[in-house]
Structure 1
Amino acid sequence: MSLAAATRSEVTKTFTTAGWWILALVLVVYVGSSAGGLGFILAATASGNLSDAGTGMTGVDGAAVAGITYSLAASLGYVFPLLIGTLMVTAEFRHETLTPTFLATPRRGIVLAGKVLVAILLGAIFAVLALISAVGPGAAALAVFGLDTALGSSDTWAMFGRIAIALILWTIVGLGVGTLVRNQVAAIVIVLAFTQFVEPIARIAGNFVDGLGEVTHYLPGAASDALVGFSIFGTMGSDPNVTAGIEWWVGGLVLAGYALVLLILGHFVSWRRDVS
C-alpha cells in the first residue's frame, strides 16, 4: 500500500469515530469560556474599570491584553491536540484494529507516516477551532472596554500562525506518546500528569531554585509558550520569564524535537513489535 492509500485509510479511521469531534467540542467550550472570562477581567483591569489587585495590568495597552488572551488558544488548548494524537494510536492498540492494517500494509513505517500526515491535518483543524474560540470572545471583551483588539496588526497574525504551528506539533507529540506507550489508560494518565502537574510544578520551582529555570525553559510546555510569544502563565506569575528564556524559533525547534524523538523511539521500541 502506498503512502497516499495509507493516509486515506487513516483519514477514514480517524474521522468516522467520535473521539476527535468530542475533544474538539470540549476545546471550543473550554478555550472560549476561558478567553471570554479572562479577557473581560484583563480588559477591565487594563482600562481602569476594575481594581488592579496587584496584577500590574492597569494601563497596559490593548495589544498586550490581546496577546495574552488570544494565546489561550495554545496555553490552554494544547492538551486537546495532544490527547487526540495519543488516541490516534492507543485506540487502535486497544481495539486491535492495527492488526488488519498491518496485514494490508506490512511496511509499518508507511502506516506511521500516514498517521503523521493525518495528525498534521487534525492539528490544523484544532488550531483553527482554538483560535476562533479564543479570538472571538477575547476581541469582544477588548472592544467592550474600548481597547485595541490588535486584529489589524501583522504581529498578531504572526502569533496566530505560530499558535497553529504549536498545536500541530502538539498533535504529533501526542502521536509519538501513543506510539511509545501502547496502553491507552497509561498513555492518557502520563499525558495529563505531566502537562497538568509535573511541568507546571517544575516551572514554578524554576523561579525559586537557582539554575533550574534555565532547564525548565526547554520543557515542552515552556517551549510551546516561547514559540507562541505570549502565555497566561507569565501574566499570572508562575513563570514570568516564559518568553525571555529562549527565542520563539528555538521554542519551535525544541517542541519539534520532542515530537521527532518520541516518534523515533516509538517506532523502534514499540511500533515494530507484535500487536497482540
Structure 2
Amino acid sequence: MSTATMTERPAARGETRTVPTVLGGLLASTRAELLRLRKWPAVWILLTVWLLLNLTFAYIFNYVAYATGSSGFSNEGVSTESLLPELLPAAIPSVLTGGMPMFGGAIMFILGALAAGSGFGWGSWKTVLTQGPGRLSAFGGTVAAVGIAVVGAVVATVALDFAASSLISVTEGQSFVWPEFGALAESFGGGLLIFGMWAMAGVLVGVLTRSPALAVGLGLVWSLVIENLLRGVGNLLSGLEYVTDVLPGTAAGSLAGALGAGTEGDPDGAPGVLTVLDGRPAALLVAAYLVAFAVVGGLLMRHRDVV
C-alpha cells in the first residue's frame, strides 16, 4: 500500500482528507469520549455517590460512634476507643480500599456499562464506526477515557480521605502523622486495579448486551448477589471453592484485605473484603481480569455488527 493510500482517501465533492493513524485515531477518540463523560451528569452522580458512601461508612459513622460513645452496626463488637486510630491520616492506606471491592466496584461497573452500552441505544457507535477512526481506535478511546475516569475517582477518594481524617485529627487534638508512603502507594495501586477491573467488566457487558440498562442490572446482580451466594454454597460443597476462589469479586476482596482493609468477618470489617487469596496472587488475578475484559470487549466490538 502506498503512502498516499495510507494518508489520504477520497472525500465528498472530489476533496481529500487525512486518514488518522491508529495512534491519532485513538487520541482523537479518547478526547471525544472524555468530553462526553465530562459533560454527562450521570458520571458525576456516580462519582458523588461513591465519595459519599466512602465518607459515610469510613469516617462519619465511626466518628459519631467514637464521639458519642455509642455502638451501632458499623462498629458492633468494637470498643469506641479503638475507633480513633482508624480515623486519622496514618490509617488511610488501610481505609482506602475498604469499600472498593463491593460498593465502589458496583459503581465503577455501572460507569463502564453506561460508557460502552449507551452508544448502541443512542446510535453513536454506528456513526463513529462508519465515519470515524476505526473500530479498535474508537473502542480504545472509550477504554482509555473510562480508565482516566477511574484514576480520577481513586485520586478523589484519597483526597477526601485526607481531608476527613485531617479534620478529625485537628478536632480531637491529635498529632498529625503522615501515612507511610509505600503503604499508601500500594493501596492507591490496589484501588486502581479493583476499580479498573470492575469498570472494564462493565464495558465488556455493555458491549455484549448492547444495552446499558441490561448491563447495569446484570452487573449489580453478579457483584452484589451471585458471587456472595456462590461463595456461601462453596463453603458447603467440596470442590466448588476452587471456582469461587478465583472469581472477580473474590480476587478484588482479597486484594483489599491484603492491603489492610478489615474483612467482612471482623466486627469492624467491610462487606466484600476477604482473605481468601494472598496479596500478590490477588493482584495478578485482578490485573488479568482487567486485561481480559478489555481484550474480549475489543474483539467483540471488532467482529460484531453494531446495528
What's the TM-score once normalised by structure 1's chain length? Answer: 0.80
Question: For structure 1, which segment, 80-89 or 132-141, has the greater mean C-alpha deviation from structure 2 after superposition?
Answer: 132-141
Aligned counterparts, 1:93-242, within 5 A: 93-105=120-132, 107-134=134-161, 136-137=163-164, 151-154=178-181, 155-228=183-256, 229=259, 230-236=261-267, 242=274
Instruction: Determine the structure 1 residue equivalent to 2:48.
Output: 25
Instruction: Give 1:161 deviation, angstroms.
Output: 3.2
- Please state whether the residue corresponding to 2:277 is helix, strand or coil: coil
The structure-2 alpha-carbon separation of the partners of 1:73 and 1:96, relative to structure 1 and needing over 3 Å to count, comes to same
Which ranges of structure 1 fall in alignment gaps of 5 or more residues? none
The structure that has the greater radius of gyration is: 2
Q: Distance in 1 between matches of 2:246 and 2:214?
A: 24
Residue 7 of structure 1 aligns with an amino acid whose one-letter code is T
Does the 8 Å contact 2:264/2:273 carry over to 1? no
Equivalent of 1:72, from 82, 85, 98?
98
Q: Distance in 1 between matches of 2:174 and 2:248?
A: 32
Question: For structure 1, which segment, 117-126 or 159-168, has the greater mean C-alpha deviation from structure 2 after superposition?
Answer: 159-168
Q: Distance in 1 between matches of 2:240 and 2:60?
A: 33
Equivalent of 2:294, from 255, 263, 271?
263
The alignment-based identity, stated in percent, is 21
Aligned Cα RMSD in Å? Answer: 3.5
Does the 8 Å contact 1:35/1:137 carry over to 2? no
Residue 71 of structure 1 aligns with an amino acid whose one-letter code is T
Instruction: Determine the structure 2 residue equivalent to 1:57.
Output: 78
Does the 8 Å contact 1:81/1:123 carry over to 2? yes
Does the 8 Å contact 2:202/2:215 carry over to 1? no
Does the 8 Å contact 2:50/2:104 carry over to 1? yes
Instruction: Give 1:214 deviation, angstroms.
Output: 4.7
Instruction: Give 1:270 deviation, angstroms.
Output: 5.2
Residue 242 of structure 1 aligns with an amino acid whose one-letter code is L
Instruction: Give 1:55 deviation, angstroms.
Output: 5.0
- Please state whether the residue corresponding to 2:306 is helix, strand or coil: coil
Does the 8 Å contact 1:7/1:117 carry over to 2? yes
The structure-2 alpha-carbon separation of the partners of 1:52 and 1:16, relative to structure 1 and needing over 3 Å to count, comes to closer
Does the 8 Å contact 2:254/2:273 carry over to 1? no
Does the 8 Å contact 1:62/1:147 carry over to 2? no
Instruction: Determine the structure 2 residue equivalent to 1:250.
Output: 281
Count of paired positions: 272
- Please state whether the residue corresponding to 1:222 is helix, strand or coil: helix
- Please state whether the residue corresponding to 2:152 is helix, strand or coil: helix
Q: Distance in 2 between matches of 1:251 and 1:121?
A: 23
Does the 8 Å contact 1:102/1:108 carry over to 2? yes
The structure-2 alpha-carbon separation of the partners of 1:51 and 1:172, relative to structure 1 and needing over 3 Å to count, comes to closer
Q: Distance in 1 between matches of 2:176 and 2:188?
A: 14
What's the TM-score once normalised by structure 2's chain length? Answer: 0.73
